[in-house]
Amino acid sequence: MKTVYYTLQTLLHRRGEPCIKILTLTLGLLMAVFLFARMAFELSYDRCFRQSEHLYRLETSWKEASGGPSLWSAFTLMPVPATLSEAFPEEIEAATVSYSLSADDLWVGNRRHSVSVVLADTCYFRTLGIPLLKGHEADLAAPGVVFLSEKTARKLFAGEEAVGKTVQYKFYSDVSCTCLVRGIYSDLSLNNSLEKQPEAILSLPTLELSGMRTGWGSGGNFEGYVRLTPETNRESMSEERLSSALLRYLPADSGFQIGIKMVLIRSLHLQKSGVRTMLWVLFLLGTVILFATTLNYVLLSVASLVRRAKAVGVHKCCGASGGNIFFLFMTETVVTVLLALLLMGSFVFLFREQVEEWVDVPLSALFSPENLWAPLAVVALLIVVGGGLPALMFARIPVTQVFQRYSSHKKGGKRILLFVQFGCAAVVLGMMLTVLSQYLHLTKRDRGWDEERVAYLFPRGVDATLLQTWVRHQPMVEASASSERPMLGFGGWTAVHDNQGKPLFYPRFNRFDKEFLSFIGMRLKLGRVAETKQEIMVNQQTLEQLGWTDSPLGKHVEGYGIVVGVLESFALVNHPNDYMPIIITGMEKPGTIHVRLKKPFRENLIRLNEVLHADYPQAELNFRSLEDDIKVVYEPTRVFLDVTLWASLSVLFIIFMGMFGYVSDEVRLRSKEIAIRKVNGAEASSILRMVSEDVLWVALPSVLLGIWGAHEAGKVWLTRFTDAMEVPGWYYLLLAVVLLVFIVGCIIGMAWKVANEPPVKSLQSE
């Protein structure tokens, strides 16, 4: 207790230095803790399932019987899981099938609630290992039955007993059913690899009420999962063995051959190259910030060595051992870190919503018990390294040397700390430059079409032709056209065949009415606009896949139609220009209705939807902004940009504080030398040059090395994108110059007062 009391008294009497330490630790811990907590969140994917090491997802390959490439998909045929369970009763403990391509709204009376709905069979909970709190899974055998998660039950019924109540579910605007709540299950953590987060489980037989086909002819729109028995050797469940068990069930006229393989659900998330890249970058940023924060604390502590040496000497003269001194300074570090954590917690509490938006994960999930090891490891490492290094230095000072200024010329350790800090700053700033350049490229680039002020609507439950006529008469609408699908993505999977019926390639496909091409800003390189379903427009990639080098106009593409136009180079969202073959046919009836609104866009979009709801009150229609939906596609990049931006600001502040401690210590140690130089005629500019050059020789190689590291790390991060921008090298060099100017500017600002004050002030103690 005496040690703690002395530590608190020391912190209170030296307000400036402890405040700087606490503030820099708060910023550094805030960034490092959240970055490593996000890493732990990603690494703990699918641990929410009971014995997840035995749980597998079924993946299906679709291959045309006539040949062609196998196309693996996470979706399968509805009867596949049950069939495999019957074929391998000794190996498969449980199997389930679910359907997640369903609408996501539940109605309680007249109130609509946005709820993620999944349809599943009676083995869903047993197979996935989700705890069932109320009800029996056998109830899912009947149509019109729904199970709710705990959170959803509270949301829908405000804490009342949900079992026995009814909800309304709509498959489409004109097809709905009343469902009885028969059970409650535990909430799943967000970090799972299911196709959709199941907030409500609707019984699979309810799907028949929508008119959708079931059985082997249902189409590959279902997810399958199997749980192997603990004794089963995974290697024995080979793709060949699983696929052969299904051969006799596949309809002979399907035209497809299917293959089945099992993938461990815990490996799904980390198999994604983008996730692995993100983890490496998060680790790099977190490590850099943690090192910068820790070494800055060490630098500030070491900078006070001369000033606090006499106090240490007094302690040793009074009988304190090296161990006592070490414990004293470690206690000071622990108290300082705890105060920083308290300040960080207060900040997070006050700005919870902004922090959750920044990390893109709810704090309750980010700091769940299974993920706490990462933040605790960060704090422990900071205490051990940040407190241990200066504590050892103080503890090892012999009492006979404590009162000597022996450390005044020992700059090597401090320069090493500065070197690492400057390198850390360069790495983080270089990563921010890479992410910013890529984000601007994705959101601002010319794709060959114009999404500005465009909104779109799927005309469900109404006459599309009448609705488009209505839209064109609205005063806020500048132009209107129609396509089968919006520009966010085209359809596909129908192959182009050669003359022998062999599939050549699988183009992306869409239908445009005759006005849509000019409406969206796309251009023709050759020919005219397609007007009927038998006429098609193609891009250059399609011509290359077909091997056509002469004029394609008038030629026939098997399964699609006659070529009447060749498109200028353009790109789909998240892809480079001409990344894949494209075929667009004409369309005679409206599909997805697009409008280009007059300025101001936001106000006119709100007005258009208000008028639409007034004139079509029974239909669930709403125009969506195409620009906003494109931004959603790039939301992960924007979130990561925010992370690197805040990391950059934090590191800049941390190294500023580190330089402040270093320069203050150097100026104090060399104050008499500076005064003598001024007495001998030295100008203030030469004094400033002397101080800044001392740091600049450390900063120059450190910054260049850090910028090179950022460039290499940026190249790795950019591999996540198919449409990636290669950042020019001179961008990084310019950033290095800016950082060096910032460092020199800070040093000059800190040393300005001493360089310009009268020399007698420093010599008056002699």
> Domain boundaries in the chain?
1-48+269-410, 67-254, 422-444+634-766, 454-633
The partner residues of 203 in beta bridges, in order of sequence, read 120
Instruction: Decide if pLDDT at 209 tops 80.
Output: no
User: What is the pLDDT at residue 162?
Assistant: 86
- C-beta of residue 39 within 8 angstroms of C-beta of residue 353: no
pLDDT tens track for 317-350 = 766 666 777 777 788 788 888 888 999 888 888 8
User: What is the pLDDT at residue 67?
Assistant: 53
How many other β-carbons are positioned within 10 Å of the β-carbon of residue 487?
Answer: 24
- C-beta of residue 709 within 8 angstroms of C-beta of residue 673: no
How many other β-carbons are positioned within 10 Å of the β-carbon of residue 350?
Answer: 10
- C-beta of residue 277 within 8 angstroms of C-beta of residue 438: no
Closest CA to 509 of 467, 572, 457: 572
pTM above 0.85, yes or no: no
Report the range of poorest mean pLDDT among 92-101, 306-315, 604-613: 306-315
Task: Find how far residue 661's CA is from the centre of its chain.
Answer: 36
pLDDT tens track for 723-742 = 888 888 888 999 989 888 88
User: What is the pLDDT at residue 670?
Assistant: 63
pLDDT interval class at 409 (50, 70, 90): very low
pLDDT tens track for 522-541 = 999 999 999 888 899 999 99
pLDDT interval class at 408 (50, 70, 90): very low
Given the structure tokens 């990391």, which residue do they identify?
647
pLDDT tens track for 694-712 = 778 888 888 899 899 888 8
- C-beta of residue 484 within 8 angstroms of C-beta of residue 591: yes
Instruction: Decide if pLDDT at 19 tops 70.
Output: yes
Burial (0-12, 13-18, 19+ Cβ within 10 Å), 522? buried
pLDDT tens track for 542-556 = 888 888 888 889 888
Report the range of poorest mean pLDDT among 64-73, 601-610, 629-638: 64-73
Q: Work out whether strand 256-264 and strand 55-64 pair parallel, antiparallel, or are unpaired.
A: antiparallel
- 214-242 in b/e form (b: 16+ CB < 10 A) is eebeeeeebbbbbbbeeebeeeebeeeeb
